[in-house]
Chain A
Amino acid sequence: DAGVIQSPRHEVTEMGQEVTLRCKPISGHDYLFWYRQTMMRGLELLIYFNNNVPIDDSGMPEDRFSAKMPNASFSTLKIQPSEPRDSAVYFCASSWGRDTQYFGPGTRLTVL
């Protein structure tokens, strides 16, 4: 089993640019989660999907952030326009049911 796959692993961009992070969940899992981790704020849930439908997006910081899950095997998290304060590690996780989540390797985003 390949586990949760995220791309890119590292992203460096300039303020104002659009950033798209990608995630492929474990096959058969019905939940997908996007998290952001920083030293200051720890691990924060941004949004999660159940059967491709967004269930809770209350953690999405502002309108600059959007997430989609067009099918069971792919999700994107987009930031437009990006700002330096968005610099963080973004994790995608998937699960069968809400509890036992398996995390991807993360995308380290740096916005200059």
Chain B
Amino acid sequence: QKEVEQNSGPLSVPEGAIASLNCTYSDRGSQSFFWYRQYSGKSPELIMSIYSNGDKEDGRFTAQLNKASQYVSLLIRDSQPSDSATYLCAVITGRRALTFGSGTRLQVQP
């Protein structure tokens, strides 16, 4: 079992819709959770971090964490074509640094 799992996609949504990206992790001791966005040919950039159960909102982005279910998600409201990218879920567990999922490719159709 991979430590951090994501559906590779592509996830296709129409412009203006809500995009929902999901991630599960295997280690219950994981304490910090992140969503990175990576455009093709570019480096990952941090979108959101979340550390406790519940929702965290930042503009059009909402991160949701459920430690009991070992599940973290990212919602993108009013999706724009410029949101088309690969979204990487990442987790910190113990002394280890970030462990990344394989990413979900999002396509927003104009």
Contacts and interface: CB of A to CB of B under 8 A. Distances in A.
B92 A45 contact: no
- In which size bucket is the chain B interface? 10 to 19
A104 B43 contact: yes
Contact of A99 (B92, B100, B101): B92
Interface residues of A toward B: which range? 10 to 19
B44 A43 contact: yes
Given A42-B101, A42-B103, A99-B34, A56 B96 contact: yes
Contacts of B103: 42-43
A98 B97 contact: yes
27 contacts: A33-B98, A42-B102, A42-B103, A43-B44, A43-B88, A43-B100, A44-B100, A45-B97, A45-B99, A45-B100, A48-B97, A55-B95, A56-B95, A56-B97, A91-B43, A91-B44, A98-B92, A99-B32, A99-B34, A99-B49, A100-B46, A100-B49, A101-B98, A103-B45, A104-B43, A105-B43, A106-B43
Interface of A: 31, 33, 42-45, 48, 55-56, 91, 98-106
